[in-house]
Structure formats: C-alpha cells, structure tokens
Structure 1
C-alpha cells in the first residue's frame, strides 16, 4: 500500500511540477519576446517532457536503467496509443502537410537511431547520447529556420503576464516538485515491482510511462474542450522526438544506460516502432490528412494489446 501511495504521490507532484514549469517557462519566454513557434517547439516541448527527463535521469543515477528506458519507450507508445487515441475519439484532427514531409520521417529516424544504438549491444553509451542530442539540435534549427508553422495561427489570445516574482516562484516550485515526484515515483515503482514479482521494466512501461504522459494528455483534452484548432498530430510527434533524442540522449550523456530486462529489446521497442509507423497509413486512410474516431479505436486497441502482452 505504501508503494502505491508513493507512486500516486509521485505522479501528482510530477503533474503539478510540469504545470508550474510550463506556466513559468511560457511567461518568461513572452517577457523576452520569443516568437510563439519557438516557444512551442522548445519551451513547451521541454516542459511537457520534463517529467520523463527527470524520472529517466534519476532512475539511471539510482541504478535502475530499465526504469529510465521503459519510461521513455512506454511514454512514446502511450502518447500515440492512448493520448492521441483519446484526442481523436473526442474530436477529429486535420493533419498538416508538414506531418509527412518532416514530423513523421524525423520521428521514425529518431526511433531507428535509438534502435540501432541499443539493440545490438544492449547499452546506450555516452557518445551515442551526444549524437542524439546533436541530432535534436539540428532538427530544431531546421524547424525554426526553414519550416512553416505546423498549424494555422489562431486569433491572438490576450495573455496576462505574471509578476516577475511569480514567474521565478513557479519555476522553482516546478523544479522541486519534478525532482521530489520522480524520487517518490521511482521508489514506489521499484517497491511495486518487488511486491508483484514483475520486473522494473514492466512497471516502467505501463504505470510510470502513462504517469509521465499525463501532461500531454491533459493539454490535448483541454485543447479539444476549448475547441482550439492548434492541437495537431505534430505536437505529439514532436514530444516523441524530444523523448528519444533529448531525454534518453541527456540521460546517456550523464551516465550510460544498460538494458537489464531483455523484454525491452525483444518486445517493447518493436511495439514502439510499429505504432509509430502505423500512424502514417492511418492519416491517409480512409480520408486523406485526417484522423477520426475509427483511427482512435485502432490505436486504443493496439495500446491495450501491448499492455496485455507485456504484463501477461
């Protein structure tokens, strides 16, 4: 029971911390007159992926590499099979041309790069982490210099700036909550794995990954409720790219990440590649450049099958 409370408490702190960090980071960016597209592709992406980053670094440093790897691989599967599925079940998404010219190809290349680095020797080395972070940097430079915005601009929304002390207060609280939440979540996850007799990988790929995907889920649902057209497939694709290249890249630079449970290489990584690939045909069939409720049902079915096979 104590381990379960640790997991719940850790997730709540991660959600709160991510929200505070996002609020302060966006406000700080607006104060510095940074363009919206730059905020979206860098600040917002980092803030929503911060739970994955903190949990992965903390888990690797604490000697639980499978939690770090399972968290990212599971989050990428959950972003598409759960978050995107729920979003399109609530409201269809019209996909922009940039999806198949840039976003999807880069996500697949990032996934294959990670696969190539870890599949054959079971370890993500420091130099491989550096390559991944450099690839992310080059991708961001390309986006900011050459690509048009992935979504249509909405009417300007009047944003009330926070007092400067509140901005830094939220920034500090967000960082502390993320760190404390990751500690609780890791301790609870390891404890649950021991109690239920399953590997840390299984807990990471299911419970932890869904927990760290909650910021993306919350943002998607809120966007649907507010009927904002700015929600797009590109947002979640971008999150997956960031998870692979930044979260795992930075974690590997700090400390090499070694696979402990071979299930990650024989099962999980192929599910991640498969669900990433299937998004492309779903976007074009039956209606071009659109994801609807039927696609959502297919994605949920794939995700539930993945969870069932993983825990059985």
Structure 2
C-alpha cells in the first residue's frame, strides 16, 4: 500500500483512543479492525475508548493490521461485507460483493413479474449463474420471498459460503433457494425462469488490474475468463434461450467497456428490448434483453 508502512505494532497497555490516533490506515478501516479484533460494536468503540488493550489483544490486533498493510482485503480479514443492506460472509473462495453489483439486484427485482393469482400454480423463478457468496441470489430472495431462486456455481467451496449466507438471511419455509454445483447451465434439467442474472468473470486475461489491490487476493477464476473477457458472457447468452420463459429477461454484469459488445451478442441471439444500465458511477455496468 503506497506511502503506508507494511507493519504496525500495537503496544500492550495502550488505550483504544491512542491506537486509533496512531493507526496508519484510513479512519474507517482502523475502526473496523479494532471492532473486529476486540469484538466491540461501533458505539462501544466510541464509549469505551479509554479501555486498555492487554498483551494478547495487542498481539492479535497487530496481526490484523499487518495483514491489511500487506494488501489483504479488509473483507477477508473480518470475514464479511455488507451488500444490499445485509451482512454477507466472505472468504477467499468467493469474490467480495461490490456496491455496483447492487444494480443487478435492482434490475432483477424490476423485471420479475409481480406476484398475483396467475402465478399461484406456476411459481415465479430467478436463476443466478456463478453465485459465489450468494449475495445476489440471497438479496433477491430476501426482497421477494415469494420467488423461487436457483443459484449455480462451479466451486463447491463457494456454494458452502452461499449456503451459510442463505441460512443466515432467509427464513426456512418462506423462501425457496436451491444451490447446485454446475458449469453454467449444465446441472439444470428442463427448468425455465422468469429472470436469469449473472455476474460472470469478465476481466481480460493479462489485465494489469488482476495484480493490483484487492483483486490479487480474490479467486482468479471468478474474475477473468482467461481469454478476451467475453467468453463467459457468450456462453451465458448462447444458452439462455433454453432456460428462459417466453418474455423472460437475461441480465448480466460486465466490464466498464463491454456494454456495446454485450448488446451485440444479445441482438445476435434475437433478444428484444436490448439495453444497458449505468451503475452509481455512471458506467454502463449491466446489459440485458427480453427473450421471446
């Protein structure tokens, strides 16, 4: 981390206030690591800032700071990240959920039909491809408990994380979420869905960002297709017609410069109403279209 030392030693006998004053990270990260290491809430950290840190706590906190100063994402250090108003467990087996991906959840909720008597016998359903931590699927299911969710991932370790996140946020018997190990659509039978969402690997092989910042620590197979950045998106688009209901929507997150290419791929497969949507930074981040 440029301009920041690669270690920070906390002395036993220091107060929380003194550590916060001396710590080399930005104030938010300093507080997060102290709350995690000392098992304090934000309010407790403020109201108990004269608390003295003992030798064991000093050693544990110093190790946490050392990990962050060496570049490890803070989400992996504390084991969770907030997404769509929910706290999700994250491990190095899954990507860290990012705020811009909340757009994909918003769009899925906008494009799935409203619940009514017409759908009583035929449950409304959403498919999440490459679910990772389960953040997208769980956020959708938490917002719409009437939906039937299916979430796929090739990684068994990722599915284990997704399962724990589902158990944490979804009420048993209220929401249906099926987790399947699958290479894109391969584990599906003849199901059809109202909406398919995907946040696939879309970084071009050899992109310099893969060796910078948090991306160095995240699972590379979830970040890059090891090709032109569009191969996973092509596979998803090519296979979607078999699994979408008539009038169903395919919605995919992609790279900052890939919107036009993804729209062209959708149009080539005769998707209708093809369009792209901008994220909170004004970047076209999600593209999709209606099938049939």
Report the TM-score, using the length of structure 1 for normalisation: 0.23
Q: Which has the higher contact order (CA 8 A, sep 6+)?
A: 1
Higher helix share: 1
Higher strand share: 2
